[in-house]
């Protein structure tokens, strides 16, 4: 199948799904508890997808100032230029991803774009980067949220790590329980946050420009002792690049919308692209506004405030808590402890926690896509499966908690790890898009379409170049500051996933069915059935009845003589009841159960190697885990051993005890659980043929 | 069946087993690794069974002095009288258990004696007491061993808890791995210990009486400040009774031989009785010798040495380590740091650790007997089963470790908990023996035998009375000192075992097979087989082949459409290969697997409720746990859910991958594991009919 044909097939599949959502909607109408999963209008899609990128303006401007402070307060004059560079980069990335959204209306995330266009290695690299990113999104967002909350509630900052771990635990439990999401859950804090920042910028501009007030940040009187006085030349350029790298934290999460196109109302791609543009515009305005206000109100921040910040000529010491730039600016504009200051701090923290929550959705979802491509255990593949999500959620929470613990919930130190992964996926995704357009251009004849494609390719090419450049800058300027940790994480993910894929490939080769209509080597000629009996009770009688119905070539009941008295009683009752199945009793001098049965079955196989043996085990089904400890344990162990014996099939005939009703209800409740993040994923989607074709 | 008939049957069963061990030996000869399990001559049986009771002379004399010291050093003059009381008690208990040994040659332990003769409540009380005792044997013996070792190696006493926990961990690992026991492992340290103590007594007597040396214990110059000066009347009697209670620690473990009769050479009962007598004689000689030497060498001990011991008028303070009486005496007799002193300290510690090790054998063994009577999970029943032993060993180690931690590995504080359980089982066992003889006397006509029985009854009656009296004394004098903890432990064991038994009884009633040759309510009329297929590979083809051989009434293959492309490929290959089983594909809009299958199967059952459904699942068998994570997870979950659906049988058709060889070898290695304590248990034994008859 040539590539254009594949592309056409993909479009057909996609359009079929997007044009005929009726079947899906009807399927859904059956389950009223899922009715909430409707398509999103732009005004809701914006907060749902943008909590991550928008919330990063809470820490990104501060990071720029922190790095600049190394060269002393005079270097703060470079901050507008760094803001301009970040804005240019933001527009580039937004413009690039608008192309992704149009090209992959099925919601091709960076992994799929790289995988499809650049091959599985690039795809896996992007996947590793994204997995690391999700962990860092949780760690950074929660740490920063705690710091923002702490600017209003000092207790929180005094017990930073504890509070951050507390929030992680809370989010984890919420997501494990499958708390139902709704658009408004995202919309309210996000819009309050955006409105708060804009009010702050506007009111600050009004006070400064119209009223002529002198607004002073709480740190305005502090003096920064530069770590490197009078930097110039290469060293200064390096520092500016590092400051720029830090500012790039504002771009994290921009790619989220490109994963979520199917969740938009029609026309999906157009709406998604518009939302992406809106988000970019909001983000840069807020970013620049905060930088400008910080400059106006003389915010002073230092990487090591205890050592490098001086107040009245004295170092401020270890007890000093450096508040985030957004809270310092809010204090200057609104006044400390004022109503608006508190509201903005709360909204900032809430939006940051929501941003962390997006990772709880994204991580298992990416896991399921990777599982489909056999880079992760198969069972993660099933969408909406509770266990699959639980594993992902717990892994994510554990890794994020570990990072928060190691780095003391210090957002500044965590951000050093953050940006590498983001730009790895940006760069590879954009490079993949260039390949995508090249491929389409090779066959496309329509000149209008070609013009469009050439334009898109140019945008993506510039995007790939620029983000690649930033990636190099980030790597160079941040490697020793922590980027190596992120790279190490990526390598670990990459190696693990490669090993898993290799295992699956090896197994697939081993079990591949040989060609030809029949294959005698795997087909036995007769079946000998053995029913295991310990006592005559209802489960045993049921197992016997089922075994008889199965009409195998021969059938016998098997018991192990552990206690001669019990065995004698069994024999007598067997005869008395006139059960028409021969009863065989195995001796067991060591009172073992498993070994005699295994040896007997092996003996049967040795006698007639072409026969298969069917071992039928009556099993109790109980309702509570502690009851499970009291039953079926020997059956379980026996089954475990029997599986290793070739030519065996093991049949459980369950007998439901009354107490099993409780477990049944519990199982049903679990089956009705809602996978978190459903609101941002849209209706069940089928991945394009294009990506599945790469699997085998 | 009347009681004498039962008794006769019991004897027949027992004699059959003891007279014809050939079958067992032949069975054993097949497995050369078990040849070590031969019958024990008396000279080996003594150390194997007596390490526990003999080792208690390392701490019991000291406990007497400790309590007496409360009334000041003058009260030490009562120590010979207390020794006499302990000796009388020891002879009583030994004489009583000699009757048990003769009456129950099959090795009826206290639990069985009480259970058979006094009913299940008494049996369960004894069992709870024994379980608590085993835990305390480990805690006390190891703590005391550490203290004895510490008298030669100060480091050990400085890190008492750590070292004690270390020994527990070591013993636990040894027992979990199933290190092979041999008689000499027990014999050498026990005989060295016995010889060392006797040498010490003899050399001490020689030096004191013949040479006229003045031997001084290291604490001889210390002055004891009595907590209660000039105790008299009731208070003094109470104190003496408490000292006596503490001295009774010397009796712990005497009952061990009565459990181990089957391990003796013939004539088993006679040899066991002789060994018991030898053990009693050794124990009392050593106990009295140490008490006498302690008095001669002026050993001074106090319950709170830091506060109540004075040296040159100054309290000796917190840093003082009070060495065990046996080590103080050895120092006086042999000289500090002399070769014999070191050897005795090492042998004492080793024997105490061996004593702790006996609990590692006894605890799981008692567990298996209790499991046979359905007071504990069924799977513990299987003798020699590794998992059963592991659970018991880990539980024992955990409980003992907890006690050691809580009580700071202080043997004196732990002993307060110890003696209650011992005397609960002594008293109930002896009372049971009186009943036993009464029952036999009711029918016995032979006058010689009657005279024997009446004599035995008198001994057991005196034993029951005396041990009962001691139990009351122990309870009264020690309740607040820690005996309540042991009682609480017993109550917890009792309640748990009662609850488990109730559960089993309830289930047994629920599943009891109704009478009558056929029972239509549990017998379906037809079987509909469903083979689950995800892809066409060898495991799937094998499952299909097996399913066809089973000749059920109808057969179909079932697949879930999670990915339309894959499903299409499956359908095409199905047709191309011309597989003559209809393939049914279920739609799954949410990419779930379990739910559509469950619902389909339920639908089948609803259509024809009298039919059974056989669900056949191809399964991979892999070799490593991490590979297991990569396979079969959806199959496992599906099986779990299917078990709750009535009228279903679930069949696994395993396909062994190459890597499964590793797991097979591992499983075989585990199956060849040796249960610890085999040397003291003798050949596989069948419990007497008498006890099993009480079960239902």
pLDDT per position as a tens digit, B400-409 = 999 999 998 8
The Cα of B53 is separated from the nearest Cα of chain A by a number of Å equal to 29
Structure tokens at A336: 């400390």
B510 touches chain A (CB under 8 A): yes
Q: Do B643 and A653 touch (CB under 8 A)?
A: no
Question: How far apart are the C-alpha atoms of B644 and B524, rounded to whole Å?
Answer: 17
Q: Are residues A449 and A552 in the same domain?
A: no
Closest residue to B546, CB basis, from A524, A538, A684: A524
Q: How would residue B688 be classed by pLDDT, with cut points 50, 70 and 90?
A: very low
> pLDDT tens-digit profile of B615-662?
999 988 877 777 777 776 777 778 888 888 888 889 988 888 877 777
Q: Would you state the structure tokens that stand for residue A315, as one six-digit string?
A: 């170092």
Q: For the domain that residue A607 is a member of, what is the CATH number?
A: 3.40.50.620
CA distance A80 to A284: 12
In sequence order, what are the beta bridge partners of A652? A617, B650
Residue A10 at interface with chain B, using a CB cutoff of 8 Å: no
Q: How many domains does chain A fold into? A: 2
A522 lies within 8 A of chain B by CB:
yes
Asked whether residue B601 is assigned to any structural domain, the reply reads yes
pLDDT of the residue at B320: 84
Question: Could you tell me if A568 and A450 lie in one domain?
Answer: no
Q: Which two tokens stand for residue A500?
A: 């898993």
User: Which positions in chain A touch B578 (Cβ < 8 Å)?
Assistant: 517
Who has greater pLDDT, B569 or B12?
Answer: B569
Q: Which of B384, B546, B641 sits opposite A591 (nearest CB)?
A: B384
* Residue B130: per-residue pLDDT: 92
Do A305 and A346 lie in one domain? The reply is yes
Residues A347 and A422 reside in one and the same domain: yes
B517 at interface of A, judged by CB pairs closer than 8 A: yes
Question: ipTM of the assembly?
Answer: 0.71
- Higher-pLDDT residue of B213 and B138 is B138
Q: What is the pLDDT of residue A234?
A: 83
Question: Does B357 have pLDDT greater than 90?
Answer: no
Q: What's the CATH number where A269 sits?
A: 1.20.1740.10
Domain co-membership, A343 together with A311: yes
* Domain-located, residue B316: yes
Residue A586: give the domain boundaries: 525-678
Contact B417, B423 (CB under 8 A): no
Min Cα–Cα distance to chain A from B438, Å: 26
Domain co-membership, B473 together with B530: no
Residues from chain A contacting residue B677 (CB–CB below 8 Å): none
Tell me whether A24 touches chain B (CB under 8 Å): yes
Q: Are residues A72 and A102 in the same domain?
A: yes
Give the pLDDT band (50/70/90) at residue B386: low
**pLDDT in the model for residue B681:** 55
| A108 close to A688: Cβ distance less than 8 angstroms | yes
- Of A567, A623, A71, the closest CA to residue A303 belongs to A71
Q: Which helix (H) or strand (E) holds A65?
A: helix A60-68
Nearest CB to B383: which of A578, A591, A620? A591
B415: pLDDT strictly greater than 80: yes
Higher pLDDT, A319 or B162: B162
Interval B383-395 mean pLDDT: 70
State the pLDDT at residue A17.
Answer: 36
Question: A461 with A584, same domain?
Answer: no
With a cut of 90, say whether residue B678 has pLDDT above it: no
How many Å apart are CA B62 and CA B55, to the nearest integer? 13
pLDDT > 90? residue B392: no
Q: Read off the DSSP letter of residue B618.
A: E
Q: Do B385 and A592 count as a contact with CB atoms less than 8 A apart? A: yes
Residues 6+ apart with CB under 8 A from A349: A145, A146, A148, A149
What torsion, rounded to 10 degrees, do the Cα atoms B228, B229, B234, B238 define? 50
Looking at the fold, whether B374 and B493 belong to one and the same domain comes out as yes
Task: Give pLDDT < 50 ranges for chain A.
Answer: 1-37, 520, 684-696
**Helix then strand then coil, % of chain A, to nearest 5:** 70, 5, 25
- Inter-chain touch A634–B511, beta carbons under 8 Å: no
Helical ranges in B248-267 per DSSP H: 256-259
| B590 touches A at CB < 8 Å | yes
CA distances B658 to B40, B622, B662, Å, are: 46, 8, 9
Is B514 part of a structural domain of the chain?
Answer: no
Q: Do A400 and A443 belong to one domain?
A: yes
CB atoms A589 and B24 under 8 Å: yes
Using a CB–CB cutoff of 8 Å, tell me whether A650 touches chain B.
Answer: yes
User: How far is A672 from A651, CA to CA, in rounded Å?
Assistant: 29
* pLDDT tens per residue, range A123-141: 999 999 999 999 999 999 9
Is A695 contained in some domain?
no
A556 beta partners: A530
Nearest CA in chain A to B636: A379
Contacts of A664 in chain B (CB under 8 A): 644
CA B360 to centroid of chain Cα atoms: 5
pLDDT value, residue B675: 56
Q: Does B522 touch chain A (CB under 8 A)?
A: yes
Three-state DSSP state, B459: helix
Looking at the domain assignment, is residue B687 inside a domain?
no
The answer to whether residues B469 and B588 belong to one domain is: no
pLDDT digit string (tens) for B471-508? 998 898 888 888 899 999 999 999 999 999 998 898 88
Of the residues B442, B474, B504, which one is the last residue of a structural domain? B504
Residues 254-283 of A with CB under 8 A from B: none
- Residues of A whose CB is below 8 A from B389: none
A536 contacts B545? CB cut-off 8 A: no
What tens digit of pLDDT does each residue of B418-457 get? 889 999 999 999 999 999 999 999 998 899 999 999 999 9
CB contact under 8 A, A541 and B564: no
Whether A36 maps to a domain, the answer reads no
Alpha-carbon distance of B389 to B382, in angstroms, equals: 9
CA–CA gap between residue B299 and residue B290 (Å, rounded): 11
H helix runs in B479-580, sequence order = 484-511, 538-549, 564-577
| Minimal CA separation from A668 to chain B, in Å | 9
A1: in domain: no
Identify the residue with better confidence: B25 or B421: B421
Q: Are B239 and B75 within 8 A, CB to CB?
A: yes
- Tell me how far apart the 2 most distant CA atoms of chain A are, in Å: 107
State the average pLDDT over residues B326-348.
Answer: 91
Taking the C-alpha atoms of residue A184 and residue A261, their distance in angstroms, rounded to an integer, is 19
Give the containing element (helix H, strand E) for A412.
Answer: helix A411-443
Claim to verify: residue A502 and residue A542 sit in the same structural domain? no
Does B312 map to a domain?
yes
């Amino acid at each position: 199948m040539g590539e254009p044909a594949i592309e056409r097939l993909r479009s057909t599949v996609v359009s079929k799904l997007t044009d005929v959502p009726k079947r899906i909607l009807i399927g859904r109408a059956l389950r009223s508890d899922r009715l909430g999963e409707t398509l999103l209008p732009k005004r809701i899609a914006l907060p749902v997808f943008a909590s991550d990128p928008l919330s990063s303006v809470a820490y990104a401007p501060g990071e720029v100032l922190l790095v600049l402070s190394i060269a002393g307060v005079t270097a703060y004059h470079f901050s507008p230029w760094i803001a301009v560079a970040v804005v240019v980069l933001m527009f580039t990335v937004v413009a690039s991803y608008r192309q992704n959204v149009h090209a992959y209306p099925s919601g091709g995330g960076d992994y799929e774009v790289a995988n499809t266009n650049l091959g599985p290695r690039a795809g896996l690299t992007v996947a590793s980067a994204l997995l690391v990113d999700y962990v860092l999104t949780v760690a950074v967002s929660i740490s920063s949220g705690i710091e923002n909350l702490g600017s209003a509630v000092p207790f929180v900052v005094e017990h930073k790590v504890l509070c951050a771990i507390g929030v992680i635990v809370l989010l984890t439990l919420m997501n494990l329980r499958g708390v139902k999401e709704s658009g408004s859950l995202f919309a309210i804090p996000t819009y309050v946050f955006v409105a708060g920042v804009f009010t702050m910028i506007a009111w600050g501009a009004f006070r400064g420009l119209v009223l002529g007030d002198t607004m002073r940040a709480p740190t305005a009187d502090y003096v920064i002792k530069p770590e490197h006085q009078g930097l110039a030349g290469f060293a200064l350029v390096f520092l500016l690049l590092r400051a720029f790298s830090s500012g790039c934290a504002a771009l994290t999460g921009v790619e989220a919308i490109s994963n979520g196109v199917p969740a938009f109302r029609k026309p999906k791609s157009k709406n998604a692209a518009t939302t992406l543009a809106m988000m970019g515009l909001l983000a840069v305005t807020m970013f620049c506004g905060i930088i400008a206000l910080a400059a106006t109100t003389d915010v002073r921040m230092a990487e090591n405030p205890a050592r490098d910040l001086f107040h009245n000529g004295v170092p401020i010491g270890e007890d000093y808590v450096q508040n985030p730039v957004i809270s310092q600016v809010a204090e200057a504009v609104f006044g400390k402890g004022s109503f608006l200051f508190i509201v903005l701090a709360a909204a900032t923290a809430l939006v940051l926690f929501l941003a962390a929550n997006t990772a709880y959705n994204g991580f298992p979802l990416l896991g399921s896509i990777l599982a489909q491509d056999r880079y992760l255990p198969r069972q993660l593949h099933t969408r909406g499966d509770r266990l699959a999500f639980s594993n992902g959620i717990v892994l994510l929470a554990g890794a994020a908690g570990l990072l928060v613990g190691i780095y003391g919930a210090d957002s500044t130190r965590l951000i050093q790890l953050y940006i590498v992964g983001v730009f790895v996926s940006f760069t590879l995704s954009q490079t993949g898009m260039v390949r995508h357009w090249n491929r389409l251009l090779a066959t496309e004849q329509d000149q209008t379409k070609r013009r469009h494609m050439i334009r898109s390719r140019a945008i993506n090419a510039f995007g790939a170049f620029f983000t690649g450049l930033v990636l190099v800058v980030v790597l160079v300027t941040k490697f020793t500051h922590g980027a190596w940790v992120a790279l190490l994480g990526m390598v670990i993910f990459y190696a693990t996933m490669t090993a898993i894929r290799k295992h699956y490939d090896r197994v697939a080769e081993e079990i591949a069915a040989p060609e030809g209509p029949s294959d005698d080597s795997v087909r036995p000629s007769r079946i000998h059935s053995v029913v295991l009996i310990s006592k005559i009770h209802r489960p045993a009688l049921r197992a016997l009845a089922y075994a008889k119905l199965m009409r195998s070539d021969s059938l016998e009941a098997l018991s192990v003589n552990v206690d001669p008295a019990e065995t004698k009683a069994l024999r007598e009752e067997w005869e008395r009841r006139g059960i028409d199945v021969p009863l065989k009793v195995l001796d067991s001098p060591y009172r073992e159960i498993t070994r005699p049965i295994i040896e007997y079955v092996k003996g049967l196989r040795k006698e007639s190697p072409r026969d298969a043996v069917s071992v039928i085990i009556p099993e109790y089904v109980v309702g509570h885990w502690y009851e499970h400890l009291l039953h079926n344990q020997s059956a379980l162990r026996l089954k475990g051993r029997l599986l290793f014996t070739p030519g065996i099939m093991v049949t459980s005939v369950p007998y439901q005890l009354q107490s099993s009703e409780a477990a049944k209800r519990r199982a049903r409740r679990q089956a009705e659980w809602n996978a978190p993040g459903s609101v941002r994923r849209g209706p069940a989607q089928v991945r394009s043929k294009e990506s599945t074709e790469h699997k085998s």
